[in-house]
Amino acid sequence: MIENIFKTACIVLILLLPSCIKEDYNTDNCPGQYTITPISPKELNSSRSVELENSLTTLIDPTKDSRIVEVGSNRPLNLMKGLYTAIPVKGMDEKVIVEGRFVSVTVEATGGANDPSDFVGGYLNLEVPKTVPDWGIVNYDVPTMIQTRLLVLKVKFEGLNAQLVQSVNSVVNGIAISRDLNNAFLDKGTTNRFPALKSGYVNYTLGLSGTDGYYTGSRRLLGLDGAASQILTLNIIYKGGVQKVYTFDITNDLNGFHTKDVVQPWIIQMKLRLGADFQANIEDWIAGPEVWIDAQH
């Protein structure tokens, strides 16, 4: 009997030695409790800090392994000491690909970018310390950002050949196909645009809408490539089969695309006078967030 008690005591002692005992507790050998709280973009919540619920969150641990975790202010995680990266996203569709800290949009068969969904996301590096203060639960807020924006083209034709316009399409070059997830859209951000990991273009088909006489097309973009110029190529097909191509540098017209009123569509609106020689002269040109354009009328 005494021998059995002695054996049991030895087993318990052996188990206790490597286990997590609160005295001299540290995360060198024991996990601490942490919450990761994704925060919705403030532009969507009147500048208030609001928890983003039901996000899809990837956690990269100190060994660089990644896993999907359930996060939130009421979902503690047991984390060991080290550097983690939390990557919450919400609202993605099949045209959006997030790999670690990077995001990409798929492309059409012709090579032009598809429209990504209207989604939010971001990432934050978390340094889990050696000790857990006061044995409490430590929270990390992870801000997210608006990840896409509409770019709307509006073109109105005047002059002798305006009535001969049959159809209009265009291409915008210098957009981001792949970029850092945190190089997204931020009101009053300090960086006008960031270099993309991969640059590309997007196709537009413009059609008459409403009674304002503008040919209009809208595409949703992942962003601009800050290392490239943004070039608009306008292709006009006239009745009788005549086709003319006009090129405009719109780089400066997109200053603020990533930093000004980012919940609004960005509009480039122009009036072109088409002469008998098919030359296109700019009669009027305005660019900016939709709320700015509306204020001009």
The domain that holds 123 is classified in CATH as 2.60.40
Examine the domain organization and report whether 103 and 82 are in the same domain.
yes
Strand 124-128, strand 82-90: pairing:
antiparallel
Angle at 218 between CA 215 and CA 224, to 5 degrees: 125
> Each residue of 210-241: pLDDT tens digit?
788 999 999 999 999 999 999 999 999 999 98
pLDDT given at position 201: 98
Q: Are residues 103 and 174 in the same domain?
A: no
| β-bridge partners, 272 | 157, 282
Q: Is residue 11 part of a domain?
A: no
78 plus 214 within the same structural domain: no
Q: Judge if 101 and 199 occupy the same domain.
A: no
Same domain, residue pair 246 and 128: no
Do both 111 and 53 map to the same domain? yes
Does 184 map to a domain? yes
Could you tell me if residue 235 is inside a domain? yes
Out of 114, 146, 178, a domain closes at 146
The domain total for the chain is: 2
For residues 160 and 276, state if they share a domain. Answer: yes
- Within a domain: 13: no
Is 246 inside a domain boundary? yes
* pLDDT, position 47: 85
> Which amino acid, 203?
N
- Residues 48 and 65 grouped into a single domain: yes
76-100 per-position pLDDT tens digit: 999 999 999 999 999 999 999 999 9
Is the pTM for the entire model greater than 0.85? Answer: yes
Domain that holds residue 75: 26-146
Contacts 24+ apart (CB under 8 A), 129-134: 129/27, 129/81, 130/26, 130/27, 130/28, 130/81, 131/25, 131/26, 131/27, 131/32, 132/25, 132/27, 132/32, 132/33
For residues 191 and 246, membership in a common domain is answered with yes
